[in-house]
């Protein structure tokens, strides 16, 4: 039976990386039935809606989304489509593994960090209004319910996958009430997991600590905005934004997308690295219990990464987005069975 997936190619580099990833997924032989939609500015031009009703109805049916990046205008214009979709489907856990790929020279070798970002509230929600001309208020809502469930998600994951340590990242020295509540929830949940070390670091210090020594951390759990910022910082450890995947997970729905944005500076030039979206698709394939396909892609990806000339330019290669996808598919067709840890 085919897996029905809602596919949102997005804009900017979105259609290029999505096309590459869909071709690779289809080369596994697993059957996918794609329900493909535009959102954001492209959708608005055609339908007058930023998230057309059919997109919502499709996600309600499929409960699985593969999504390319979508541009959000800066300092005005429409609100983030990403935030709206995460909130609409209560995709409360944003799971972002930061891991090196073999054979890629990076600033730090063998990084293996997981960021768990609360995805539904906090300052990142963009709840703002002008109080009087010249004065703007931005609301940071933190709830016990959302803080407890993200902490529970992180600890459950840690126990299931034998992770050793979780740090809650905060700014409760200044935001004593909101970040204070977040920390109290994390501490309460931590008590149920005596097998996992629990620590707390202030977010600004965490940035410095990460750059000095990322190996001191194992899993980091944090509010929405801190997660947004620290994910990009951590992407630099493993080769940049072309490498970091994410899964937005709710109780009965999941959306897989790269951490990066629509990269307008390289859009439409066949330059984007599709690895981040491919690794997000690997998380999706595992979510669908297609473990054979996941291994097949991981092995091929690892073999492609042994050849510098087959890589995209962000990592020092010469290949375009589509040539990179061709190289992965070619390796999959060779079908060498050897373990990889991509």
Footprint of ligand NAI on this chain (CB under 6 A)? Answer: 13, 17, 69-72, 82, 241-242, 257, 260-266, 272-273, 276, 314
User: C-beta of 272: minimal distance to ligand NAI in Å?
Assistant: 4
CA pair distance 170, 176, nearest whole angstrom = 10
Q: Rank residues 142 and 272 by Cβ distance to ligand NAI and give the closer one.
A: 272
Q: Rank residues 22 and 158 by Cβ distance to ligand NAI and give the closer one.
A: 22
Q: Rank residues 18 and 296 by Cβ distance to ligand NAI and give the closer one.
A: 18
At residue 184, the 3 state secondary structure works out as helix
User: C-beta of 290: minimal distance to ligand NAI in Å?
Assistant: 24
**Nearest residue to ligand NAI, by Cβ distance, number only:** 261
Strand (E) or helix (H) holding 94 = strand 93-99
Q: Rank residues 71 and 178 by Cβ distance to ligand NAI and give the closer one.
A: 71
User: C-beta of 73: minimal distance to ligand NAI in Å?
Assistant: 7
CA pair distance 324, 342, nearest whole angstrom = 16
Q: Rank residues 58 and 312 by Cβ distance to ligand NAI and give the closer one.
A: 312
Strand (E) or helix (H) holding 130 = strand 127-132
Q: Rank residues 168 and 249 by Cβ distance to ligand NAI and give the closer one.
A: 249
Give yes or no for a contact between 340 and 298, defined as CB atoms under 8 angstroms apart. Answer: yes
User: C-beta of 147: minimal distance to ligand NAI in Å?
Assistant: 23
Helices (H), 178-241: 178-190, 203-212, 224-235
Maximum distance among all alpha carbons in the chain? 65
Give yes or no for a contact between 80 and 106, defined as CB atoms under 8 angstroms apart. Answer: no
User: C-beta of 67: minimal distance to ligand NAI in Å?
Assistant: 7
User: C-beta of 246: minimal distance to ligand NAI in Å?
Assistant: 8
Residues 6+ apart with CB under 8 A from 297: 24, 25, 28, 278, 281, 282, 285, 328, 332
Half-sphere exposure of 83 (CA within 13 A, CB side): 16
């Amino acid at each position: 039976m085919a897996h029905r997936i809602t596919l949102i190619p997005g804009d900017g580099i979105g259609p290029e990386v999505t096309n590459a990833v869909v071709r690779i997924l289809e080369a596994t032989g697993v059957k996918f039935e794609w329900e493909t939609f535009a959102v954001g500015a492209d959708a608005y031009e055609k339908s007058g809606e930023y998230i057309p009703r059919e997109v919502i109805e499709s996600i309600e049916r499929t409960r699985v989304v593969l999504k390319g990046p979508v541009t959000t205008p800066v300092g005005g214009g429409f609100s983030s489509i990403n935030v709206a979709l995460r909130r609409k489907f209560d995709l409360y856990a944003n799971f972002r593994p930061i891991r090196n790929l073999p054979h890629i020279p990076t600033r730090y070798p063998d990084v293996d960090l997981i960021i768990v970002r609360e995805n539904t509230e906090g300052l990142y929600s963009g709840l703002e209004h002008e109080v009087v001309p010249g004065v703007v208020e931005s609301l940071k809502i933190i709830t016990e319910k959302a803080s407890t469930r993200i902490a529970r998600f992180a600890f459950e994951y840690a126990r299931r996958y034998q992770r050793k340590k979780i740090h809650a990242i905060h700014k409760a020295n200044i935001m004593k009430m909101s970040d204070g509540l977040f920390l109290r929830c994390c501490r309460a949940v931590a008590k149920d997991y005596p097998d996992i070390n629990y620590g707390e670091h202030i977010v600004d210090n965490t940035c410095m600590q990460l750059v000095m020594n990322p190996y001191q951390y194992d899993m980091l759990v944090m509010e929405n905005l801190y997660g947004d910022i620290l994910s990009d910082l951590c992407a630099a450890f493993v080769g940049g934004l072309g490498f970091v995947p994410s899964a937005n997970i709710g109780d009965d729905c999941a959306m897989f997308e790269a951490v990066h944005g629509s990269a307008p500076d390289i859009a439409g030039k066949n330059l984007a690295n599709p690895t981040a979206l491919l690794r997000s698709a690997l998380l999706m394939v595992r979510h669908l219990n297609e473990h054979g396909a996941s291994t097949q892609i991981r092995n091929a990806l690892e073999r492609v990464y042994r050849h510098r000339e087959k890589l995209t330019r962000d990592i020092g290669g010469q290949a375009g987005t589509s040539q990179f996808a061709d190289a992965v598919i070619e390796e999959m067709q060779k079908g060498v069975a050897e373990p990889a840890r991509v």
